Structure 1
Amino acid sequence: MTNIRTVRARIATGLSIVVLFLAALAPGLIDSGSALALIRVPLEAVLALAVLALLPWRTARVIVAGLCALLFVSATLNAALDRGFTVTVGQPFNVVTGWPELVDAYGVLSDSTGPVAAPAIVVLVIAAAAGCVVAVAASLLHLAGLIRRHRRRALIGSTAVIAGWVVLALTGAQLVRGEPIAASDTVTAAVATADQVSAAERDQAAIRRAGSSDQYAQLPASDLLTKLKGKDVIVAFIESYGQVAVQNTSYSAGVDAVLRQGNTDLAAHGYSERSAFLTSSTFGGISWLAHSTLQTGLWIDSQLKYDTVTKGSRFTLSDAFRKAGWQTLSDVPSDTKPWPVGRSFYHFGTELNALNVGYKGPAFSYARIPDQYTWAYLQQHELAQPHKPLMAEIDFVSSHTPWTPLPHLVPWSSVGDGSVFDPQPAQGLSPSVVWQDPRHVQQLYGQSIEYTMSSLFSFLTTFDDPNLVLVVLGDHQPAAVVSGTGANHNVPISIISKDSRVIDRISSWNWEPGMLPSPSAPVWRMDAFRDHFLSAYGR
């Protein structure tokens, strides 16, 4: 019986050591993706055990063990979020500003896995995190109890470990690049969080300063957008339309073919186009940061900046058009509820979404309304009706992740209420199937851009409108599974018009003819566009 108790005690001790060291080293393991990150010395684990061994009160030991376990697990969850956000949106999770983005990420998860699997995954993650906290706390208490019973040997051992850790830290020894053997992942995570708080405060102050002085906000209406009088102006954001869609990828050839055919078709109908690239303030998602950057002329690359700006009165492109006499409209086809910022900040006169455009057809995963229907509704209910000049910002969402199933074009006369699209979702694969193979994801991403741009060209050549001016651009590059690691933030942008005077006004920009910018086309930051546009088309 004594031997059995001894074996059980040794197993418990071994498991406690493994659990504690895994918890302390897990952030580095997640960050590096290499098992060699486990061959490190976690200072926090040693210090936590030392503190627990010295505490004389059991209640205090339980509380401290629970807090330490919570810190370890929180650091691991934060590392997992960092990795997930870096892969999808090109930057780590920000504990100050990233919570709305996390909600949006859940929406994408739900679209990809289904309405049942997504909440089940969240529940499992929460349960696993809670279980880990309990396991780590129990491991700390078990090991601290052993140390208290063997204080002399424990003191010698811990002193040696800490001394060794200091030597390793001073020499910067590494087995994995960027992961020192002397590990302090929890401390590093805490410092990073503190830095994010400080950076958030600096960003807010900078945005307030930039928003307080704006020369265009002071101009009279008679000096704004005078060279576009009488034109309907559409700012068309193409979801996930990045530089990778048109250059040097396995899927860009198909997109390029559509754009070249579009050049030919538009030229035959009297259109001219000029194209270049903009550097977006976001990557892989969080589209509203790009929209606000283009509209405000401010570099808005975080939710905090977005919230700060949209609570103020920065002069936007939509404000300029409204002040100069245009009616203004927004269309966000995947929204199913009111958008307060559209009224309070952008001051759109009309707001359209999934619920008020009469669409009776099916959803295509995230994209509740196919792009062709969005164009058809705009034509039938706005452009074809007697109206004041219109300025509209429209999101075209058929190219939104997960890029399956995809719609295909139907005759414009058949669009109707959208029920013509009913059979189409079943003709594509579900996200759970497609996302098992990154190459399949990339292929369907390319096809989604082909569909969206084909819809645009078909619309322009079917509904011949000499007074229409379009600004067509991507909001951001697609996620890293499509763009690849280290991709830039550049997106194509084009201005399209039948009026040669509209194109002549931007000749000094040196943008390239056609819809397909070359690798040597000009590249601007997206926040530079507003001022260039207002200058080119104003007095």
Structure 2
Amino acid sequence: MAWTTTALAVALVVFALLLPNDISKIEPGRFLRIPAEGILGAALLLVLPPRARRIVAVVAGLGLGALTIVKLLDMGSYWTLDRPFDLVLDWILLDDAQSFMKDSLGENGALVATIGVIVLAVVMVVLLALSVLRLSRLMVENRHTTGRTLLILGTAWITCSTLTLESSGVPIASHSAATLIENRVESVRKGLRDGEAFEKQSAIDAFADTPPDQLLTGLRGKDVLITFIESYGRSAIDDPQMGVPLGETLAQKTQELKDAGYASRSGWLRSPITGAGSWLGHSTFLSGLWIKNQSRYNNLVASDRLTLTEAFRRTGAWRTVGIVPGTQKAWPEGKFFGLNHIYDSDQLGYQGPKFSWSTMPDQYTLKAFEELEHGKAGRKPMMAEIILTSSHNPWAPIPSTIPEDRIGDGSIYHSLQKAEGKDPKEVWKDPSNVRDEYRKSIQYSVTSLVDHVAKYGSKDTVLIFLGDHQPNKTVTGENPSHDVPVSIVAQDPEVLDKIADWGWTDGLKPAEDAPQWRMDKFRDLFMTAFGSQADGTP
């Protein structure tokens, strides 16, 4: 029993030191390396006096436990956001992770998973502290054997490092734990400095003092619909498994728009995020600032920055509305974005079931928009920000397109969901199925939007639609771009003439070599193209 306990203690410590912080990099070869931190830590414990040794052993074990928790947080962050967890700015995202688990596993499943994660974290920290304490005691009891072993391991580490020997493509002489700690410290420093840097950037606004009568003069009299399609990323178009069928849908919808009198142009925008955090993409697009984390978002909505939506409201020439079916609680930031009225999940009148995270199908959302705002007789021109959520992770179940006269208050979706809906737990057992369902959700959202505009739009309709970010790595694979497609659709040829020098592709599918702009550049380019004058001067 003693030997088994000791072996488990050694294994646990080595596991904590060598565990990578990206789940895609976990493979047996990574645990066959020699950790420099283990050798140096053992040597330190060997020479310390008894009282100091016990204190250092406990502290080292707790530190290893904390390091392991950070690695696990990184795994989740890499999987969803394709970046490590920000120890300063990302804690608020754990609430979104909890919401996602509720939608994927159900409320009871999410509760069990949450309790399991907390218990695992506590047990991991305690076991590592006990393991280091036990090993330090055994090393002192066998001081000569321990000294010789450390000398051999140290020599082996230096040899492997000098000869750059590798196992599974990574160096056998490992110092990954120390490197991770160093990177984390630097990341925390950058996070603490980020607020000051963002404040300087946000103070520069070319249109802050532009008089209202000189804003967006090239769109007066038009209905402008700014529509975000959740998780509509470049991978949906470029990946062969998804791109071929989606390309066919985009080609078909491009032709249907032409038949209805519309033309369209498309390009690429680089989102500040990937995998999740839609509001950061939305606010980047609308504010002209790079909103890459929650701290920047909080500072933005507390400022007087001119957003694209606020520019429409400020002119007095448009009624501005927000259609935000994913908003299920108070959203005071809506006033910052210049929206005269906000329709959240409660105000859209939906009586059907949720489709996983999405509170209602996109087809219903657009129908409600038509009935509540767009279809009103005698109204003034409007600017609407519309968030379509049917393509939100986990992409199951997906609603089906149905005749509009059957939609009603959405109650019909109860039977449709039971008849056609797929269980997300089953879908997520196979990455290929995940990509397939993701692609279908994008096709559904694009189809719902284009069909709506073709039916209810007019010569004064201008549609701008785009993705907010790429989906997670299960869909995109490793090292995805942050690009999302963006399209502008209009009947009036003068609208697209104003962006002729942008070099965008005709149709709803941007070419591979179409311009790629950072998303925060769009606001100024758009406002300039459509007549806004910087600082009120020609």
Using the size of structure 1 for normalisation, the TM-score is 0.92
**Cα distance in 2 between the residues matched to 1:519 and 1:28:** 33
Instruction: Establish whether residue 46 from structure 1 lines up as the match of residue 36 from structure 2.
Output: no
**What is the Cα deviation at residue 453 of structure 1?**
1.2
Q: Amino acid of the residue matched to residue 287 of structure 2?
A: T
Instruction: Establish whether residue 519 from structure 1 lines up as the match of residue 512 from structure 2.
Output: yes
**What is the Cα deviation at residue 53 of structure 1?**
4.3
In structure 2, the partner of 1:391 is 383
Q: Amino acid of the residue matched to residue 83 of structure 1?
A: M
**What is the Cα deviation at residue 472 of structure 1?**
0.7
Helix, strand or coil: the match of 2:119? helix
Deviation per CA, 1:329-381: give whole Å up to 9, x if none: 222212210112222x3232212211221111111001111101111111111
Q: Amino acid of the residue matched to residue 229 of structure 2?
A: I
**Cα distance in 1 between the residues matched to 2:374 and 2:219:** 16
In structure 2, the partner of 1:277 is 268
**What is the Cα deviation at residue 320 of structure 1?**
0.9
Q: How does 1:65-464 map to 2 (within 5 A)?
A: 65-162=57-154, 164-166=156-158, 168-169=160-161, 172-177=164-169, 179-325=170-316, 326-343=318-335, 345-385=336-376, 386-426=378-418, 427-464=420-457
Alpha-carbon contact 1:108-1:366 (below 8 Å) kept:
yes
Alpha-carbon contact 1:52-1:141 (below 8 Å) kept:
no
**Cα distance in 1 between the residues matched to 2:174 and 2:255:** 60
Q: Amino acid of the residue matched to residue 443 of structure 2?
A: E
**Cα distance in 2 between the residues matched to 1:454 and 1:157:** 67
Helix, strand or coil: the match of 1:250? helix
**Structure 1 pair 10/262, CA: closer, same or farther in 2 (3 Å)?**
closer
**Structure 1 pair 372/172, CA: closer, same or farther in 2 (3 Å)?**
same
Paired-residue identity, %: 36
**Structure 1 pair 141/469, CA: closer, same or farther in 2 (3 Å)?**
same
In structure 1, the partner of 2:527 is 534
**Structure 1 pair 508/29, CA: closer, same or farther in 2 (3 Å)?**
closer
Helix, strand or coil: the match of 2:19? helix
Alpha-carbon contact 1:273-1:513 (below 8 Å) kept:
yes
**What is the Cα deviation at residue 399 of structure 1?**
0.7
In structure 2, the partner of 1:33 is 26
**Cα distance in 1 between the residues matched to 2:312 and 2:305:** 14
**Structure 1 pair 163/369, CA: closer, same or farther in 2 (3 Å)?**
same
> Which ranges in structure 2 are unaligned for 5 or more consecutive residues?
533-538
In structure 1, the partner of 2:536 is none
**Structure 1 pair 170/119, CA: closer, same or farther in 2 (3 Å)?**
farther
In structure 2, the partner of 1:478 is 471
Deviation per CA, 1:132-151: give whole Å up to 9, x if none: 22222222222222222233
Alpha-carbon contact 2:61-2:131 (below 8 Å) kept:
no
Q: How does 1:56-67 map to 2 (within 5 A)?
A: 56=49, 58=51, 61-67=53-59
**Cα distance in 1 between the residues matched to 2:24 and 2:183:** 14
**What is the Cα deviation at residue 397 of structure 1?**
0.5
**Cα distance in 1 between the residues matched to 2:478 and 2:391:** 20
**Cα distance in 2 between the residues matched to 1:286 and 1:212:** 24
**Cα distance in 2 between the residues matched to 1:347 and 1:204:** 24
**What is the Cα deviation at residue 220 of structure 1?**
0.6
Q: Amino acid of the residue matched to residue 270 of structure 1?
A: G
Alpha-carbon contact 2:58-2:133 (below 8 Å) kept:
no
Helix, strand or coil: the match of 2:415? coil
Q: Amino acid of the residue matched to residue 265 of structure 1?
A: E
Helix, strand or coil: the match of 1:422? helix
Helix, strand or coil: the match of 1:306? helix
Q: Amino acid of the residue matched to residue 456 of structure 2?
A: F
**Cα distance in 1 between the residues matched to 2:188 and 2:119:** 28
| Greater displacement, 123-132 / 10-19 | 10-19
**Cα distance in 2 between the residues matched to 1:17 and 1:517:** 54
**What is the Cα deviation at residue 450 of structure 1?**
1.2
**What is the Cα deviation at residue 55 of structure 1?**
4.6
**What is the Cα deviation at residue 430 of structure 1?**
0.5
Helix, strand or coil: the match of 1:123? helix
**Cα distance in 1 between the residues matched to 2:330 and 2:247:** 37
Instruction: Establish whether residue 467 from structure 1 lines up as the match of residue 499 from structure 2.
Output: no
**Structure 1 pair 512/25, CA: closer, same or farther in 2 (3 Å)?**
closer
**Cα distance in 2 between the residues matched to 1:119 and 1:48:** 38
**Cα distance in 1 between the residues matched to 2:281 and 2:21:** 32
| Greater displacement, 202-211 / 449-458 | 202-211
**What is the Cα deviation at residue 537 of structure 1?**
0.7
Using the size of structure 2 for normalisation, the TM-score is 0.92
Alpha-carbon contact 1:75-1:185 (below 8 Å) kept:
no
**Cα distance in 1 between the residues matched to 2:64 and 2:323:** 44
Helix, strand or coil: the match of 2:321? strand
**Structure 1 pair 47/336, CA: closer, same or farther in 2 (3 Å)?**
same
Q: Amino acid of the residue matched to residue 511 of structure 1?
A: W
| Greater displacement, 422-431 / 125-134 | 125-134
**What is the Cα deviation at residue 124 of structure 1?**
1.5
Alpha-carbon contact 1:53-1:145 (below 8 Å) kept:
no
**What is the Cα deviation at residue 308 of structure 1?**
2.9
**Cα distance in 2 between the residues matched to 1:70 and 1:27:** 18
